[in-house]
Amino acid sequence: MSETSAAASGRHLVEDGPFAGWWTWGRGSDPFETLIGPFHYRLDEVGSPVAAMTPRPEHCNGGGFLHGGLLMSFVDFALFAIAHYALKEGYAVTLTCSTEFLAAGRHGVRLIGRGEVTRETGSMIFIQGRLLQEDAPIIAFSGILKKIRPKPM
């Protein structure tokens, strides 16, 4: 993606800190993600998409573990990060999202989302993946994104 099209989509490259070299859609392009994030994504060393964030104490529930709402929000972000290149800079909405909680998540430990596009049609993208902390799965997920046309200006 060119710098011009990246800027138009609200996407920007993180230049410093622990996520230097990662991309994010922050800075107001998605107000909810900006509020609860930041969330990041990039291609790993073998060219597979990966999403990441470092949860903070305020991301926890009353039991001290990561709140399910945060995890499901990050799953939704991971769906789009995994499908980013299949979308070819187009737009989509989440049509379905299935989340299976496998283990409790902890704050202060990087949360990683990995997965793959399992099928793509003219109007839909099917994705499966996992959220991991320290290589241990805490969430299994699948989802379908519906491709849409951007709103006219």
On whether residue 35 sits in a domain, the answer given is yes
On whether residue 153 sits in a domain, the answer given is no
Question: pTM of the prediction?
Answer: 0.89
Selected residue with higher pLDDT from 152 and 85: 85
**Reported confidence tier of residue 134, pLDDT bands at 50, 70, 90:** very high
Q: Answer positive or negative: Cα dihedral of 66, 70, 71, 74.
A: negative
Q: Which residues contact 88 (CB under 8 A, 6 or more apart)?
A: none
Cα–Cα dist 115/126, whole Å: 11
Q: What is the DSSP letter of 88?
A: T
144: its two tokens: 């379908």
Cα–Cα dist 129/111, whole Å: 13
On whether residue 21 sits in a domain, the answer given is yes
| Choice among 28-37, 44-53, 72-81 with the minimum mean pLDDT | 28-37
**What is the domain count for the chain?**
1
pLDDT in tens, 59-111: 999 999 999 999 999 999 999 999 988 888 788 999 999 999 999 999 999 99
Domain of residue 113, CATH code? 3.10.129.10
Question: Which range marks the domain in which residue 64 is found?
Answer: 3-148
